Structure formats: structure tokens, C-alpha cells
Amino acid sequence: MPENKFYASVITIGDELLIGQTIDTNSAWMAQELNKIGVWVKRRVAVGDSREDIWQALDEESKESEIVLITGGLGPTADDITKPLLCDYFGGKMIVNEKVLEHVKNIFIRLKRPIIDRNLKQAEVPDVCEVLMNMRGTAPGMLFRKGKKIYISLPGVPYEMKGIFTDHVLSLIQKEFQLPYIIHRTLLTAGAGESFIAERIQNWEAKLPEHIKLAYLPNYGLVRLRLTAHGLEKESLEKEVNELFDELQEQVKDIMVVNEDIPLEQALGNLLIEKNKSLATAESCSGGYIAHLLTSVPGSSMYFKGTVVAYSYDAKETILGVNHETLEIKGAVSEETITEMFDGLMRITTAEYGIATSGVMGPTGGTDDKPVGTVWIAYGSREKMIAKRLHFRFERMKNIELTAVNALLLLLQFIKSEEVK
């Protein structure tokens, strides 16, 4: 293991994770935060509510990493077995932590709710741990040590886990270890697959120094290129990465969308802010998903006017003014309909730019000339609108997501094309 590289393992606990009832977002968030301070997450392991499996995971991950993080199994019910297991694993005995006990009581008093013995047991912790106070809930975090390695147990509730992680864990790790610097620079491309990009830049990539790696991250027809470097000297490392990142941008300048590690919807939003322009959407097949992406970005009210989800024929006619004859003759999934949807959107909003979508998302509803996955997207400005037909071949949700991504990308490229005229 390189001297300037520190590893962490994340163990998530719960049968609900293994059967897909709950999606594990904790380990992904923790990995991002750890990476910011110079810790590499080597493995992420999910185990069920099984004493034997959790014990085995602790044994295995302690061989791989200096830091072992555990989430889940700290609640007040019978299936929450993490705390007593950790007590046995580290050879301790359960005691009542008075500070945690007072905190738990105060929570129930503040909420004006009755407190039962099961709730009070949240204040019981192994005497061999250091308590990490949970200001967002009742289950405290716990820090254990074995040799030069540390083990940190956190609640599985994301809101509570993030609070303890931010308040205690990050600063604790930074004090315990002399961490290296990890620097990422990321850009987003569109219009070329990862294999074609790799072929194009293979000579440049082959010359990268050993401590700097290039990753290809494809998703929905887009490819992110991420340069990652690690080292002990921050200033020299940043200078080296920035110079290489400039070279990478030059290599892919004709397909580069944005040279920041931000989602496509934020890149479009930044462009609209820069131009002091606004956007509205009229969505049929995407069902408001484009609006969802746009409004997930803080500050999007500066440029996003709103959306019309005109799913039915009636809504298209009464809200957007699509002609009844157009729908009857050409159908909802047609160039004529999408054009009238766009025109109606521009008429009823004050936005300078617009997007309209209509398609067949599946799994039913397709025809010979309009199979499942057929989508029409209209995009542009009040002065110029473009209608484009696309075809996707996946299941319903992915077709919706691809529609949204392509619509955002097409408008972003449209606005950028105006700049070069």
C-alpha cells in the first residue's frame, strides 16, 4: 500500500438493503465526503441483520482498510443488533451514557411525546467506545479503536448519519491520519462513446504520470472524463493536474459540453444565468421529469419559469392550444403536435427558451410506425424552434430519463450555437 494513501471500508447493515426495499445512499455520500479529505474508499459491503455476517465483514474489512465505517442497526427494535455485537467484538460491556440519556429525554420532552424503556435504551453504549453525539436523533455514533485502526458506527437514517459524519467523523479522521491530497478535474462530453474517445486520446493518456489516472464515466449517452491525482504537495499537484486538464480539454473540445463536475441541468442553468434568460417546458411523455431535474438545482427559480404537463389530448388542446385535427390526424407523437405544443408554451409563458416532449415510453402503446421508445423533442427560442425525432430502446423509466437528458442537452447545444454566430 502506498505510504500516502489511506483506505476506508463502508459496511451497511440491514436486510432491507439486500432485498432492495431500501436503496443504500449512505455509502455513496460517505465515499464522496471521505474522498474530499484524502481517503479512498476501497470497498463498500452490504450485509443483512445477521450477527455472523456482520462479524465476518468486520474481520475482513479490518484487513483491508485503516478506517471501517458501519451504518445501520442502531435503532430500538429487536432487529437492530449492531450495538450489542460491537460491544462483544471489542470486548466491552454495556453502560448508560448519561449525556446521551439526557439528550434522548430532552428530545421526547420537546416533541411532547411519551418515552418508554425501549427509547431510553438508546443511551446504552459499550464502555469501550467513544460516543459521537447525534444531534438529529436518539442513536449515538460510536468510535472504537483496535491497534492503529478505527471503527465508526453510525445510524442508518441518512439525515442522522450525515449530521454525525459532518459534526464529528471528518475532523476526527483528519486528526488521526496524515492524509494525502486527492484532486479531481472532470469534464462532460456528448456525441461520442467512451471507446471512440479512448481511441482518440490514447497517445495523450499513455503519457500520464503514475499518480494521475483518467476515468471514463458513461451515462445516458454522455461521457464524463475525470482526472484524479493524489500526492502530499497540494500546490504542485494542483498545478500539474490543471495543466493536464487543459490538455484534455483541447483533445476533446469539439465534443465537450462543460468543464466542471456538475450535472447537465446545472450546466444549462448556469448558461441561462450567464445570459440572463429563462426557460419553460411542456412535457407529455416525460411527465414533468425535466422540470424535476431543473428544480433540483438550488437557485433554479432565477431561470426556470415552470412546466405544463400536458399528458392527455384534452390537456394539449385546452392548455397549449394544440389543434384537435392535428391530434386526430397526426397523433400526439408527431412533428406537427410537438411543434404546436412548443408554440403554445411560448404563447402562455414569458420564457425566452422552451422544450416540449411527446413520445411512447412503453411498455405498451407502440405501433409499427411509432414503436415504443419513439420521442419527439422540440427545443429552441422564440425566434427559432427545432423539432427532432429520437428513438430509445429501453424500459419505461429509462426512456423517460433519456428523453429528459437529451432534451436538456439539445437546448444547451442550441444556446451555445447562438454564441458562435
What pLDDT sits at residue 2?
Answer: 41
Using DSSP's 3-state secondary structure scheme, residue 283 falls into strand
Domains and CATH numbers, the chain: 6-176 (3.40.980.10), 181-258 (3.30.70.2860), 264-419 (3.90.950.20)
Q: Record the cell numbers describing residue 294, joined without a space.
A: 431543473
Q: Which helix (H) or strand (E) holds 282?
A: strand 279-283
| φ/ψ (deg, to 5) at 190 | -145, 145
Q: Record the cell numbers describing residue 129, joined without a space.
A: 467506545
Query: Which amino acid does the sequence have at 73?
Result: G
What pLDDT sits at residue 421?
Answer: 59
Q: Tell me the DSSP string of 170-221.
A: HHHHHHHS---EEEEEEEEEESS-HHHHHHHTHHHHHTS-TTEEEEEEEETT
Threshold 0.95, pTM exceeds: no
Give pLDDT tens digits for 236-280.
999 999 999 999 999 999 999 999 999 999 999 999 999 999 999
Query: 446521551: which residue's cell?
Result: 100
Give pLDDT tens digits for 104-127.
999 999 988 888 888 888 899 999
Q: Tell me the DSSP string of 62-108.
A: HHH-SEEEEES--SSSTT--HHHHHHHHTT--EEE-HHHHHHHHHHH
What pLDDT sits at residue 405?
Answer: 96
What pLDDT sits at residue 77?
Answer: 73
Q: What distance in Å separates the CA atoms of residue 132 and residue 169, rounded to the nearest whole number? A: 8
| Helix, strand, coil percentages in the chain from 3-state DSSP, rounded to 5 | 45, 25, 30
- The residues of the chain scoring below 50 in pLDDT are 1-3
What pLDDT sits at residue 420?
Answer: 66
